[in-house]
Structure 1
Amino acid sequence: MTRYVAKERIGHVVSLVLDAPERRNSLSFDLLHELSKALTEDLEGATGIVISGSGGSFSAGADFRDLTGTSRDIDFDNAVERVAEAILSSRIPVVAALEGPCMGAGAHLALACDLRIAGDGSFLQIPAVRLGLLYSPRAIAWLADTFPRDSVRRLLLLGERFDAADALVAGLFSRVVPTGTALDRATQALATLSPDHLDALASTCELLNTLDSNQYNEATWQQRRKDLLDSPARAQAIRQAKARHS
């Protein structure tokens, strides 16, 4: 049983809800531990994962009750990075459904997701420099490799608050939807994926993650593609497509 992350199956989609609304879903060690487990356990047959927050917030960032204001807080950075790595290495798509504030470490986790579907009233901010902090160097290196240069500098150097429209233009949000509909829209998007094609889905996720980490090997992936082309699932999909178009 979990206290801070509500996990539910909606068809073939796994919904993970950060559930500490009294603290705007701030990230404690306990919440991060639960989220890491939820991202890696009991996912058989799932076609995607949606992460959202309860109470009209995605996350206000770090739970300051778990911070010391000393170098021991590197342990917190490491806990956040373990969750980010679980998202980045997922073999099915992970989508963040954002409403309200998405700040600090919460923004880091949202940006690690494959897509961010954001309610119109949401915003994203990493105000580390305003708190006298150098954000995790590994996280900064990853952000700089992944998102537009100017957007990352506005986010990290200025601690700028990006509202939904600004974040969309800056390449930080994937889609903006009416306030209050982000979770439904994200779930609907993933529900279009069929569990019959999990091998192809997992391979595509893995290839995209490999490209992000600059570890692409042409021969390996050409062989993976050939194996999928010769698979029973592929043959069945083609038979069904021919029947629909005959």
Structure 2
Amino acid sequence: MPEATAAAPPPATIKVEEAGDRVVVTLRRPHARNAINAAMVRELHEVCAGLEEHPRLLLLTGDGGTFAAGADIGELRERGGEQALRGINSRLFDRIARLPMPTVAAVDGWALGGGAELAYACDIRLASPTATFGNPEPGLGILAAAGACWRLRDLLGASVAKQVLLAGRRLDAEDAHRLGLVAEIVPAEHLIERAHALLDRMARSGPLALRLTKLVTDAPGGHPVTDDLAQAILFESADKRARMDAFLAGERR
């Protein structure tokens, strides 16, 4: 009888590169346009744990011309109220927002739903000309419960936030730059280089000064408990299941 062999581990959903004063994380689920699934959440928590223990700058980006096209709808379809109350994505994004050193998101292409919320959780965002931000969650019978409902308001004001969250407005790179959501628009081929230049500039400051400045700036921030409570109700709704079933059926055709 042949000897049983262990199953190969699933491929990593992120690429992590450590370079002295910074860590570069690239989202890598090209077949799903870098949609954020449970495995990616776990791997990003591992990155956060390392940065909490040894504080460094963080650069987040996506592979293949997409930052992240959302959360994994197949997984969301199966989540109920209990999972919503656990705040699977919201707790990760809150952890990223609270990392001791500054974080930069280099956004190329789509940053939608949970992908947009991941970008909102970073301290500074740079964008390529094709970057697009949006939160279409209500169209799937849920809300943007991983930070958009309050981070976007803080970043852009209530009026624009409601246009994005309630009316489905998408912000292209020019809109996002004009409104202050992104610091700069950079050609895609130079986006990572420019992000590193920004990190280089921050790295020239005193590390403790950076940490305390970020801490004080973020001190008035709220926390996502209300989002999770509302999401728990929506995750149990028939409307959510029907809309996600329709989405998944269309994706399979």
Q: For this structure pair, what is the TM-score category when the shorter chain's length is used for normalisation?
A: 0.7 to 0.9
Alignment-mate amino acid for residue 64 of structure 2: G
Please give the secondary structure, in 1, of the residue aligned with 2:49.
Answer: coil
User: Structure 1 residue 117 and structure 2 residue 163: aligned?
Assistant: no
Please give the secondary structure, in 2, of the residue aligned with 1:68.
Answer: helix
- Residues 12, 195 of structure 1: 8 Å contact kept: no
The structural deviation recorded for 1:209 is 1.5
Q: Distance in 2 between matches of 1:154 and 1:52?
A: 26
- Residues 67, 73 of structure 1: 8 Å contact kept: no
Alignment-mate amino acid for residue 89 of structure 1: R
Aligned to 1:226: none
User: Structure 1 residue 108 and structure 2 residue 108: aligned?
Assistant: no
Q: Distance in 1 between matches of 2:41 and 2:19?
A: 22
The structural deviation recorded for 1:149 is 1.7
1:40-95 deviation digits (Å, cap 9, x = unpaired): 31566654100001111100101122122663484398111111111221110011
1:73-131 deviation digits (Å, cap 9, x = unpaired): 84398111111111221110011000010000110110111011001111111111222
Query: Larger deviation: 142-151 or 64-73?
Result: 64-73
Aligned to 1:181: 190
Q: Distance in 1 between matches of 2:38 and 2:49?
A: 17
Query: Larger deviation: 118-127 or 32-41?
Result: 32-41
Aligned to 1:126: 135
Q: 1:62 to 1:196 in 2, by over 3 A?
A: closer
Alignment-mate amino acid for residue 180 of structure 1: E
Alignment-mate amino acid for residue 67 of structure 2: F
Aligned to 2:238: none
Query: Larger deviation: 178-187 or 43-52?
Result: 43-52
Alignment-mate amino acid for residue 125 of structure 2: R
When normalised by structure 1's length, the TM-score is 0.78
Alignment-mate amino acid for residue 127 of structure 2: A
> How many pairs align?
214
Please give the secondary structure, in 2, of the residue aligned with 1:191.
Answer: helix
Aligned to 1:156: 165
- After superposition, residues 37-52 of structure 1 pair within 5 angstroms as 37-41=46-50, 47-52=56-61
What is the RMSD of the two structures over their aligned residues, measured on CA atoms?
A: 2.6
Q: Distance in 1 between matches of 2:188 and 2:125?
A: 14
- Residues 87, 146 of structure 2: 8 Å contact kept: no
4+ residue segments displaced more than 6 Å: none
Unaligned 5+ segments in structure 1 are: 215-246
Q: Distance in 1 between matches of 2:41 and 2:85?
A: 9
Please give the secondary structure, in 2, of the residue aligned with 1:39.
Answer: helix
